[in-house]
Amino acid sequence: MLSGSAFTDMMLTDLIPMIEKTYRALPGSANRAMAGLSMGGAQTKATTMANLDKFSYIGLFSGGNIQMAEVTDPAAFKKQVKVVFMGNGQLEAGMIQPSTTAAADLKKAGINAVYFESPRTAHEFLTWRRCLREFAPMLFNK
């Protein structure tokens, strides 16, 4: 797992404060999302799962999934995380079944989990572009 990495530390101590100081970005977890593609999705998962108090929206684009067994406190997770989005290309062998199962299990626990499958694409830019198109409208809907 990548939590505690230099990337996560930089994100929390340098990048987020700089963005909130420099741009018209609202502070706080309710106004913060993190998404990544491929290895960036794995980093997104590691960063957000280790810092659930800092992010309300999680997007994993061909970047794995969040299993129910990884959610230590489902009630707190449901309260803190507004959307868990997991997307893959239809041709990404071995990734679809675990992600669809993970999304279904999270939904059964009352967590807003969404699985998206990009038709006729693999581990490629078009998959991630479509994932972003699906994920973006879910953000910051109060």
Task: Give 121-131 pLDDT, tens digit per residue.
Answer: 999 999 999 99
In this structure, is the dihedral angle defined by the CA atoms of residues 20, 1, 66 and 114, taken in order, positive or negative? positive
The full set of domain ranges for the chain reads 6-138
Mean pLDDT of 71-96: 96
> What is this structure's pTM?
0.94
| CATH 3.40.50.1820 is the classification of domain 6-138 | yes
CB count, 10 Å around CB of 32? 20
The amino acid at 91: L
